[in-house]
Structure 1
């Protein structure tokens, strides 16, 4: 199983901040965006003390329990947050692909064949944008994907989805979640691009998660549309 967190032993400084004991539990240093722990409400700075009735004395305890848990099972974590114990139910997930993990670690998101990440000051400087310009940075585009067909390329900055101005990956995710058909996006310096939805029975080359069909599942064995031939798959 997989939760999508990074953990380590509780240090003296972290014990002072959280009220935990040094060496007690597993300190959550990072929660990966879009993963089971994030969806359940786990936060960086939480200290996991128990899984169900089983105490967590050290990070390896938590790792072993989660790895042994079946995908789809709900586990109840007892965590210490702001000096108080609380219970958080998390549905154990399947470990995602390295690409999905990378996007999550960067705070990024895949959608229709492109991966966008936060627009940092360094990226603004690289792209020649003025300081304070908002949007998301296109880090990667899959060949054969809807984004590639719309002439989206790495290095572009998207600052609007449909009628919605966006300033973060979270806002981008919310705006794109509403669109099921063709979606208009505005690219800084390049104008409007129209990104079509993935073909119904073809795997989405970008790992967007909009099309759940995969080889061996529903839709497997069907001949792909000509325009998707040659494109990389998940």
Structure 2
């Protein structure tokens, strides 16, 4: 199991309908029915120098005599995890980090047999992988994905897996939260208090109907062992990714071509919204689906293909889950006015970030003003170079931020103010004039250009 900060990676894929009642007889019948489809996964990786050999112990070392003994033997790294069979032909779902960089993969069944397996496809972004057991004609016991969207906080769930190498272990608990985000691109984890530990990675999270509603993936732990907070990938995400890996050997995600951010309560106040909702567009890829649909920087996306947008994370996930070529209806708010657009989803390709060009060095007199906790200055070639301003940025430069003001943590030196309250900023004088129209305590919406990316911040005077 990998550990990042206090989050230990033990990934979980979700599925299944929620159960209504706690079984007074326990979970024995469920275990008997489901455990044969849960497998232990072990991998081997050859590592070492380019020749695959262990390095020699230095001459004169007490261990020098072992050099001849070890000879050319490769160093083997083993990984243990869990998985589950979803098709009688031997299709197995697990976590990508369980099998990543493996040279050999083996699957151990509940009857004790160990069989070789091959990789069908993997997706590092969601940490999912699909394997195929290399067996000629056998039909294996299998389980099915359920509807994780139907799972509710408080529902009973069980996990079956291989914690610390102890195969066939069952633990039970309840769903304690939904929609958890731990920093991934498409995070929407199911949180539960089911005991999950090293070796549970890739194992199933079942509801009481016996459907897979999640794949055990992460735990939150200061020690690396279970403390009762575990995270699982919902089946609504996993089933789609797994289907693509089986069909194509790779994922085929949808692409909208926008970068957005969450609408905060202060932003909502500054533009007259009754409550914070939606995702505000801060950049658009030229020629992409969003640009062709007519989306503009500053638009607030409220719905995407009938789904309400709570924040930018939801927008990214919905776009990625859309079919390539699908036409989606997008409802937006543009400068306070509702508008409906239609976008045709493209296929997501590898991102190629472009570095900012380096402007020519020139000197010029600097004129500054202070307002809203910001020290503002005109843009000129010298200041562009000093603050590494993106060549496309036009407006007024922020050169300092008062650490005691509301702007602290929102704006940075080097940001360029391009708009204030959807009004274009041409120069320092126009920016100061706009900002002087706000009373103490009032909030203004700033559109900032930060290294070529637009950032929206609501700052209180």
The reply to whether TM is greater than 0.5 is no
Please state which structure has a larger fraction of its residues in strand: 2
Q: Which protein is richer in helix relative to its size?
A: 1
Larger radius of gyration: 2
TM band (smaller chain): 0.3 to 0.5
